[in-house]
Amino acid sequence: IRVKGAISMANETARSIGPVILLGPPGAGKGTQAKQIVDRYGIPQISTGDLLRAHVTLGTSLGLEAKAIMARGELVPDELLYGIVADRLREADCRRGFILDGFPRTAAQAGWLDAFLEKEFFENSEMCPPVVIQLQVDYTQLLLRLTGRRSCPTCGRLYNIHFQPPRVDELCDLDGSQLTIRDDDREEVISGRLAAYEDQTKPVADYYRVKGRLVPVNADQTMAEVAAQVFGVIDGHTSDCKPAAES
């Protein structure tokens, strides 16, 4: 049984997966599901926020330009972001596939990504086309997930007063510290965040829906149940792809 499991895992981490794009509002579980995908298929998770911070820290030309823009309180323009994303996607660990976290956020970014992938990856037909998974969560459930979050300022342990409450109300199980709530987890702030997400992301979802790539997944379930759905979508999408070319 162990040998069969090892062979199965080796197969998962050898075949072409292609780009995986996760869409979903704050609290939908994108980060959790991305980690599950990384562990199962052995492809990297690429966060545009992390990439920007890395370029700034390393003092690259792109990082210095981005730092100057952000210092003025302005948003990093798409043209600069495209260069940062393109550099990362050209690295060797992306050859079989990758998960995009926080990108694309607009229909224009989605269009750029399609053109980039077509030119850089698909001309040799070694990589599967992108699969776009939309994690769908009921609005009330999202509010419970986000407004219920609490953290211990001493040990950092996380709780949710609705789903994973502490044994004693508002006190950490480990050290008894008073639990805290982040300012951006307050209901009035969250309502604005969710509304902004809907306005910003709907064109992206529509873009991929028109292209026939958008696959909805019911994320109002346990982590394991959602992961099983996500794996099913990816496996079905990649079943006809060729193995990744040998380096």
pLDDT per position as a tens digit, 192-219: 888 888 888 889 999 999 999 999 999 9
pLDDT for position 224: 94
Total Cβ atoms within 10 A of residue 223 = 13
**pLDDT exceeds cutoff 70 at 242:** no
Query: Does the active-site annotation cover 40?
Result: no
**Which residue among the candidates 35, 53, 67, 105 is catalytic per the annotation?**
105
pLDDT for position 126: 63
Q: Rounded CA gap, 239 and 15, in Å?
A: 10
List, in sequence order, every residue forming a beta bridge with 100; answer none if it has no partner.
21, 46
pLDDT for position 129: 83
Tokens of 145: 């997930």
Q: What is the pLDDT of residues 95-104, one digit of tens each?
A: 899 999 889 9
Q: Rounded CA gap, 123 and 10, in Å?
A: 26
Q: H-helix or E-strand containing 155? A: none
**Which residue among the candidates 95, 193, 209, 213 is catalytic per the annotation?**
193
Q: Rounded CA gap, 123 and 228, in Å?
A: 31
Q: Rounded CA gap, 164 and 189, in Å?
A: 22
pTM: 0.78
Is residue 158 within 8 Å of 143, Cβ to Cβ? no
Range among 124-128, 161-165, 238-242 with highest mean pLDDT value: 161-165
**Which residue among the candidates 90, 182, 186, 211 is catalytic per the annotation?**
182
Is residue 161 helix, strand or coil?
coil
**Which residue among the candidates 88, 96, 149, 150 is catalytic per the annotation?**
149
**Which residue among the candidates 30, 96, 145, 150 is catalytic per the annotation?**
30
Query: Does the active-site annotation cover 30?
Result: yes
